[in-house]
Structures are given as structure tokens and as C-alpha cells.
């Protein structure tokens, strides 16, 4: 059994069988569904785990319980990766009370056909629960990631149970840096809801936090300023790393060649960092996080069916869906007889707030030539001047 702090134990599981998290995100290093137990005069279980892991989870729980029974199941988030075993738990422990927000109980009705009448406790923002020594405060965190979400702060242990916030892709038995997969997770899951994340963070001001226990990813107990700093930057749509993302598609390699030329020119002219992604072949969720990470985005694609290439459509739609904003954006288009991609891309990108469009653009008519190379040089000059 894994002890997190005085009286707090980890009972989560690792999933290495999952093909796509939430039906869309690749998770090459698996996924962790975290759950915790607080053992005190009363015993509280913090959330459940995914549907395939009931036996493993309950086995770990029983080991921690050591013959006792839980008094509470605290439901911070109703998404099925955390709530699927709710009725399995309530049937096994019929005396346990279920605690959650009104939104959580509405979802329980939808998912399980019951609000657990007679054994439910609906909590509001700021409400408290004493387990004996551990004093819990429930803090609603709507839309981080669903509307019913709440955090739980244990003032005694100085532990924040943060629901999906501060989570990441990847199972806990895989050692990997936090930032990259936490960023991909953040922008994929809650990127659109920056204001809500900021409101939730504001509720933590002045609270002494020594460890963060999220529902995915590792427990964070060192260098917390870094993780909170990242969340402040991401939720305010700030630039995390100075640099340029070039997101492109290429049919016969000519647009790819133009992108490589732009990359070379940007670096030559002093741009601190250039990241290049092939939208037809690379993970688009990774491309989305890189777009949010950097301050400058170049979109390069082919004219296609009078518009532009489908993977670029998908990418721009992802950006719009996730509230991409406050960035400098430039366009490179390729078109053998009637280039139209830049106009189409710009029309879509105008839906994003606070976008500045670069003065220079690039049109390649089939293959690079002196004219298009000169355009790329001018664009690189304009973008590099920003650093
Ligand atoms: Fe980890 Fe929003 O569920």
C-alpha cells in the first residue's frame, strides 16, 4: 500500500490496454486512474477508477481498510474514468455516504438511474467535512473539466485533491517528464476553459499546499511553484516558450521543402526555437499543445478542392474548439494553378480571439522558386524580429 501523507493512501490503477483516452487521445505510455483513501476516525474514499479495474481497485482499498469499512465516497468528478465503479462501491459498502455537488448527483441519475437517496450528501462550494483529524473543504471547480467538478482540500495534511487539474497522460509505472504530457492533456481536456481554471486556482490562494493529488498522473509534492506556474500560464493563454510552431501538410513534398526553408531562415535570423509538425502524420493533440506553447504559429498547406487540405481543416478546427487566442499567425500556401489555401485558412482563423496576422505571406506555385524563396525570407525576417 502506498502512503501519500499521514492517513492518506493511493489506491489507483495503471491502464496499459487503452487505445484512445476519451475516445480520441493516443496514450502510448498508458493512463493512470487515481483514487485515494483518507483513514481517520471516519474513512473517506476519493473517487473510483475506470470500469475495467474494479477488482484491482477494491483489492487495494480493502488492504488499506484493514477490516474497517468506508464512511464516505467523495465524488469529485463524474466522468466514467472516475465514476464507473460507483454502484459497485455502494453495493459493497451499503453504509457509506456518497458526497458530491448537485451537478454530480444529477449525473449519477443519468448514468446509474439513482441519486442514492438516503445516503447522499450534496455539498456546496466551501463546505467542510471533518473526518476526525483531517479537515476537508470542498471547492467547486466547474468545467475543470466537467461542470460538476470539485476539488477537496485537506487542511490537516495540506493536500489538495485536484480532480482532473494537474493531471497528465501516462501510467504511473512509466517514468517520463511531467510537462509535455501534462500540457497535451491540459490543452486537450480543459484548454477551452481557461477562465474556469483561473477561478478554481484563485480558490486555492492562501491555502498551504504540500502535495497535489490529481485523478491522473503522479502525485506532485516537490517544486509545486513550477506546476502552479504552468497552470497559470496555460489558463491565461500566455506564451510558455518563445518560438515558432510551423504546422504543415504536404502532398508531394514541395510544401514540406518550403517549410524546411522557412525553418532554416528563422533559425539563421535568430529565432530561438522552431518546432515543425506534419499534420497528416503527427499527433494533432501534440500539435495543438505546441500551438498554445509558443507565441507564433505558421500554417502551411496545399490548395485542395478549391479550399485547403483536410488535415489542416481538422487542426484549425481543434484550435477554434480549444479557444486558441492571442498569437501571431502567418500563412504559407501551395497551389499549382489557383492557390486559395491562405484565404481559406485566414477566414477560419479569424474566429479566434486576439490573433495578429503576419504582414508577409508565402505562395508556392507547385515547387519553390526564387520568388517564393524571397517571400519566405521576408516572412522569416518579420517573424524573427519578434524575438
Ligand atoms: Fe479524468 Fe475528465 O476525467
pLDDT digits 0-9 by tens, 30-61: 999 999 999 999 999 999 999 999 999 999 99
Q: What is the CA radius of gyration of the chain?
A: 24
Same domain for 202 and 262, yes or no, is no
Q: Are residues 229 and 248 in the same domain?
A: no
Q: What is the pLDDT of residue 1?
A: 76
Strands 72-74 and 31-33: unpaired
Pair (270, 354) in one structural domain: yes
Q: Do 262 and 333 reside in the same domain of the chain?
A: yes
Query: What is the rounded average pLDDT for all residues in the chain?
Result: 97
Of the pLDDT bands very low, low, confident and very high (cuts 50, 70, 90), residue 126 is very high
d(CA 250, CA 363): 14
Nearest one of 165, 47, 45, 148 to 104, comparing CA atoms: 148
pLDDT digits (tens, 9 = 90+) for 232-285: 999 999 999 999 999 999 999 999 999 999 999 999 999 999 999 999 999 999
HSE-CB of 176 using CA atoms within 13 angstroms: 17
Q: Return the C-alpha cell found at 195.
A: 477562465
Q: Are residues 159 and 274 located together in one domain of the fold? A: no
Strands 128-130 and 120-122, bridge-based pairing: unpaired
Q: Say if ligand 1 is within 6 A of residue 164 CB.
A: yes
CB contact at 8 A, 212 and 4: no
Domain termination residue (choose one: 190, 216, 235) = 235
State whether the beta carbon of 145 lies less than 6 angstroms from ligand 1. Answer: yes
Both 229 and 253 in one domain: the answer is: no
- CB of 215 shorter than 6 A to ligand 1: yes
Cβ atoms 204, 152 nearer than 8 A = no
Q: CA-CA distance, 387 to 385, in Å (whole number)?
A: 6
Q: What is the domain-level CATH number for residue 368?
A: 3.40.50.360
Last residue of a domain, one of 190, 215, 235: 235
First to last CA, the chain: 50
Q: Which of 267, 325, 333, 324 is nearest to 298 (CA)?
A: 333
Q: Are residues 27 and 97 in the same domain?
A: yes
Q: Work out which ligand 1 atom sits closest to the CA atom of 215.
A: 1
Q: Whose CA is nearest to atom 1 of ligand 1?
A: 164
Would the pLDDT of 124 be above 90? yes
Tell me: do 99 and 198 sit in the same domain: yes
- pLDDT for residue 76: 98
The Å distance, Cα 33 to ligand 1 centre, comes to: 9
Examine the pLDDT at 68 and tell me if it is beyond 80. yes
pTM, 2 dp: 0.96
Q: Give the number of domains in the chain.
A: 2
Is 305 found in the same domain as 163? Answer: no
Read off the pLDDT of each residue in 70-88 and give the average, rounded to a whole number.
97
CATH number at residue 113: 3.60.15.10
At residue 331, φ and ψ (nearest 5 deg) are: -125, 140
What's the pLDDT at 96?
A: 98
- Are 202 and 274 in a shared domain? no
Classify burial at 221, counting beta carbons within 10 Å of its beta carbon; exposed 0-12, middle 13-18, buried 19 or more.
Answer: middle
Pairing between strand 31-33 and 36-39?
unpaired
Same domain, 349 and 269: yes
Average the pLDDT over 327-346 and give the result: 96
CB 85 within 8 A of CB 48: yes
Give the span between the Cα atoms of 324 and 322, in whole angstroms.
Answer: 6
Q: Which among 138, 141, 142 has a CA at the least distance from the CA of 129? A: 138
Q: Which ligand 1 atom sits nearest the alpha carbon of residue 216?
A: 1
Q: Is 330 helix (H, G, I), strand (E, B) or coil?
A: strand
Q: Which three cell numbers stand for residue 96?
A: 457509506
Q: What angle do CA 256, 259, 260 make, to 5 degrees?
A: 90
Do residues 110 and 248 share a domain?
no
Q: State the pLDDT confidence band at 27, using cuts at 50, 70 and 90.
A: very high
pLDDT, average across residues 282-292: 98
Closest CA to 191 of 51, 57, 287: 287
Q: Which of 204, 235, 266 represents a domain boundary (last residue)? A: 235
Where in the sequence is the domain holding 159, given as residue range(s)? Answer: 2-235
C-alpha to C-alpha distance for 52 and 316, rounded to whole angstroms:
35
Amino acid at each position: 500500500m502506498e502512503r501519500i501523507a499521514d492517513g492518506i493512501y493511493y489506491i489507483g490503477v495503471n491502464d496499459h490496454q487503452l487505445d484512445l483516452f476519451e475516445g480520441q487521445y493516443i496514450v502510448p505510455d498508458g493512463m493512470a486512474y487515481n483514487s485515494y483513501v483518507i483513514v481517520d476516525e471516519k474513512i473517506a474514499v476519493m473517487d473510483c477508477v475506470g470500469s475495467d479495474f474494479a477488482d484491482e481497485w477494491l483489492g487495494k482499498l480493502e488492504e488499506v481498510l484493514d477490516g474497517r469499512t468506508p464512511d464516505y465516497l467523495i465524488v469529485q468528478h463524474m466522468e466514467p474514468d472516475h465514476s464507473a465503479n460507483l454502484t459497485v462501491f455502494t453495493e459493497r459498502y451499503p453504509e457509506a455516504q456518497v458526497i458530491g455537488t448537485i451537478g454530480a448527483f444529477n449525473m449519477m441519475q443519468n448514468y446509474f438511474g439513482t441519486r442514492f437517496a438516503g445516503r447522499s450528501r450534496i455539498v456546496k462550494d466551501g463546505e467542510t467535512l471533518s473526518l476526525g483529524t483531517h479537515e476537508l473543504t470542498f471547492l467547486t471547480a466547474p468545467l475543470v473539466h466537467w461542470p460538476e467538478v470539485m476539488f477537496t482540500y485537506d487542511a490537516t495534511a495540506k493536500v489538495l485533491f485536484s480532480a482532473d487539474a494537474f493531471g497528465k497522460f501516462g501510467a504511473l509505472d512509466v517514468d517520463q517528464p511531467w510537462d509535455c504530457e501534462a500540457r497535451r492533456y491540459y490543452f486537450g481536456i480543459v484548454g477551452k476553459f481557461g477562465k474556469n481554471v483561473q477561478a478554481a486556482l484563485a480558490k486555492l490562494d492562501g491555502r498551504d499546499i504540500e502535495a497535489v493529488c490529481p485523478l491522473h498522473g503522479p502525485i506532485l509534492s516537490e517544486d509545486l511553484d513550477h506546476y502552479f506556474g504552468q497552470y497559470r500560464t496555460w489558463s491565461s493563454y500566455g506564451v510558455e516558450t518563445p518560438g515558432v510552431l510551423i504546422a504543415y501538410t504536404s502532398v508531394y513534398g514541395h510544401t514540406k521543402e518550403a517549410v524546411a526553408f522557412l525553418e532554416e531562415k528563422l533559425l539563421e535570423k535568430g529565432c530561438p526555437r522552431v518546432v515543425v509538425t506534419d499534420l497528416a502524420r503527427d499527433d494533432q493533440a501534440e500539435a495543438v499543445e505546441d500551438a498554445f506553447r509558443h507565441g507564433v504559429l505558421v500554417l502551411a498547406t496545399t490548395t485542395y478542392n478549391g479550399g485547403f487540405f483536410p488535415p489542416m481543416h481538422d487542426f484549425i478546427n481543434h484550435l477554434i474548439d480549444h479557444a486558441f487566442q492571442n498569437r501571431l499567425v502567418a500563412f504559407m500556401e501551395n497551389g499549382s494553378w489557383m492557390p486559395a489555401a491562405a484565404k481559406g485558412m485566414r477566414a477560419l482563423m479569424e474566429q479566434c480571439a486576439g490573433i495578429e496576422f503576419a504582414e508577409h505571406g508565402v505562395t508556392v506555385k507547385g515547387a519553390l522558386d526564387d520568388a517564393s524563396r524571397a517571400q519566405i525570407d521576408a516572412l522569416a525576417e518579420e517573424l524573427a524580429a519578434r524575438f
